[in-house]
Structure 1
């Protein structure tokens, strides 16, 4: 598959053994940071923190990405599958609540190889923390490796996803992949400390000027998932970074209280369970310092 990459919906066909795909990835995994992270949802970072592994590159390249340094600028260190497996074990030894694979879509072959080496030694859940733009085939490949899916569901409108992520088919692909994820891991399951052991948490970050698109996503989640299998995290952390192009003036401000609350209120009306965020989460201080630590 590395010779003609079709891992994600882009199906760019890159020969990643000699070049890179749309995502910026070649044959080997590239990691920017591996550490305990206490700022995930309460059921993910519930004790010592999630054992996050931040992968470089991305199949979306959103124009507003808070992890721009690694997703678009591709900062990181190339490592072998054996080195990646060692990182998993080190995070477990540090007391990580889980292994949290952040933006892993373009490295699932490396991740599967690495987990094959050490999965018999891992006693904590594996979290697949992705942008949602996945192929159903890729989700099927991960069956038996992933305990918790943590996908974004970023956009409902193809016009908006085309504008900000060059992916007009985003919702079509992401919605199918998320349904495959929930079917694969099944009902939510917790440990005695409230930590999630199994299940799916769907994230959605409200964007300025696009609350109606967010509300369509809320409606879809209510109609197509159940509270037995899915939690929703409605994020209020959009931050208008300086690197955002002047082509997107609507993204040059924070989300208003009215915009965010209208989305949250609809989710409550429709009986969706999950998490919300304080407005203080919209700050650059919550962006990790990608310093190659833990690699």
Structure 2
């Protein structure tokens, strides 16, 4: 099943969603896959998927915010040819309500964890003059969205850092890539979504906004037809291409937004937001 020439891929956040699909797909492509997750008690879904696909995964525990644990994992794994930084969470909340600790936690899980892992594998990749660092970003790393300021900030940071890092490493044959999914149920409204502490305040100035956010998340989960396999397929293509692109949007909504929104004046976007907000209030 495995072609040793493919090498080793390390994928984070593999208990569900993008990470799970990506780990399985890379293994089917011929990589030895080290699949990590923060809580090994949630590995059952990955085990079932691996058994169904007839593959073997090296499943490890890793909290990407734990620098010492990450260093130990890399040291004991051997050469990493492909790093897929997928682990992360979604913190939903009005920007004013986000505490410094909550924002710091979002940045650590979605951005600084990826930075740390990349820095651990870069020396080996640079010496071998080959490697791929594939960071799972989001369309919200290119555009802001109400109620997702912390999440967008973490993904914007990941986008800027990844682009700069790509330029730094190109002379050494190492390619840094960004995968930018649209609104998939696994990344925006899935079980890794959390809300700020103030979200339970039913008398605050943003109480209605939080009710709308909860309804919107539920609708996104129910209506989304996006399949996380599309993200996994994109990662596999990037891992195998001789010169992969910097950015790969995934999903019709992501591709449409990247084409259309830059052409729309900011004032018009704000008017549209206010119009939709008033309609929702009028409709209850």
**What is the TM-score with the length of structure 2 in the denominator?**
0.40
Bigger proportion of residues as helix: 2
**What is the TM-score with the length of structure 1 in the denominator?**
0.39
